[in-house]
Amino acid sequence: MEKIKIGEKTIFLVGTAHISKQSAELVKKIIEKENPDSVGVELDKERYLQLKHEKKWKETSIFSILKQGKTHHFLLNLLLSNMQKKWGEKIGTKPGEEMLQAIKTAEEKNIPVSMLDRNVKITLKRAFAGMSLGEKAKFFYSLITGIFSEGEEISEEKIEELKQADVMSELMNELGKELPGIKKVLVDERDEYIASKINKMKGKKVVAIIGAGHLKGVKEKLGKKIDVSCLEEISQKKGIMQYAMLLVPVFLAAVLIWTFSTKGIEATASVIGLWILINGLLSALGALLALAHPFSIIAAFLAAPLTSLHPALAAGWFAGMVETKINPPKVKDFETLDKIGSVGDFYKNRVTRIILVTAFANLGSAIGTVIAIPFVLSLL
């Protein structure tokens, strides 16, 4: 614990040294001893509710996820949650236990509690926006290998490292090491955000509970003026692939006009047929690899040639919707989401299988578009 004086405010900055019952007992003891005017914890409101209620997955609207195109965010949150749980089990404690204990102790003493961390969805969206396609692939690979490596034991050295920071912070730090380009978003920006929230905590004496991994960065920024609004913005800039996809309908329209005017209706029909066949087959193949229902596979085949021409639509959404109608998730599928620990579990659970159908059908359609273009040009 570090005692920091800034003006008339005294800040007790507590870095959780162990993810264990000892850590929970430590924060309880400090809050009871210091009796601060307010307590801050390194959580955002959403993550706090997830920890408190152990993720009410059964309240998730799968239709909302598909309609809003948030399948990758849902999958990302699921992988992070399950990876966090897995690491917590290895260490022998419940992730976030010390934060929940701090809140409980503060509430018992009628001390106001502040959530200090940035919403994890904003952090991930900002990180995602700054990644290249290759970095995104590496990002998901790191998460998937981390959650599915059931037979791999975590070394004693690694366990000791994990005891020096809360699990979510360690996850962020690990990802930062794998992808240095996004370390600023995952680690440095959160240090700034947490420091800004501590600066705004009310009272002359405050206690802030944070992961030990954030102690140095937060301490350096305490008392400084920080623009939080810029840390909550999500970049809307389009990548090269998104701009390329916007040109696809223009390209196909130009090809069809030129073919019709120079070679006639039969050649034009051949171009259209080839476009439909390649886009449809590869999107359908993606759905098939996700073990989709035959009707979902047909939906992917029919939708892909058209959705590949419209940047706001995706073949996977239609395939996913059909899959949801035919094989709707049951309550037990949502309740067992946090128990997914293998590739087979992803296929067995109806919620994650719908996500796979959507993602694979979209991927197949995107690949189909790239492959179809040179084939179409070969007919000219």
Which structure tokens are listed for 234? 């999500």
Question: Are 25 and 165 in a shared domain?
Answer: yes
Question: Are 191 and 219 in a shared domain?
Answer: yes
Question: Are 17 and 109 in a shared domain?
Answer: yes
* Beta bridge partner(s), residue 114: 40
Question: Are 270 and 304 in a shared domain?
Answer: yes
The pLDDT of residue 147 is 47
pLDDT digits 0-9 by tens, 76-116 = 666 666 656 665 666 666 667 888 899 999 999 999 999 99
Question: Are 226 and 270 in a shared domain?
Answer: no
Q: Which of the listed residues 211, 231, 251 is the one where a domain comes to its end? A: 231
Question: Are 164 and 265 in a shared domain?
Answer: no
Instruction: For residue 206, give the 3-state DSSP assignment.
Output: strand
Question: Are 53 and 177 in a shared domain?
Answer: yes
Question: Are 211 and 323 in a shared domain?
Answer: no
The pLDDT of residue 293 is 95
Question: Are 184 and 292 in a shared domain?
Answer: no
Q: Which of the listed residues 191, 209, 231 is the one where a domain comes to its end? A: 231
Q: Would you give the end-to-end CA distance of the chain in angstroms?
A: 72
- Give the domain extent around 278: 240-378
> Which residue stretches of the chain have pLDDT < 70?
17-21, 53-95, 132-133, 135-181, 235-244, 331, 335, 338, 341
CB count within 10 Å of CB 117 equals 25
Question: Are 156 and 287 in a shared domain?
Answer: no
Place of tokens 């955000």: 193
Strands 113-115 vs 2-6: parallel, antiparallel or unpaired = unpaired
Closest CA to 234 of 189, 175, 188, 167: 189
Question: Are 15 and 127 in a shared domain?
Answer: yes
Query: How deeply is 248 buried, as exposed, middle or buried, from its count of CB atoms within 10 A (0-12, 13-18, 19+)?
Result: middle
pLDDT digits 0-9 by tens, 241-259 = 566 677 888 888 998 999 9
CA distances from 269 to 139, 166, 257, 259, 375 (A): 42, 60, 12, 9, 14
Q: Give the chain's domain count.
A: 2
Place of tokens 């010390």: 98
Task: Quote the radius of gyration of the chain (alpha carbons, Å).
Answer: 25
Does the predicted model carry a pTM greater than 0.85? no
Question: Are 268 and 343 in a shared domain?
Answer: yes
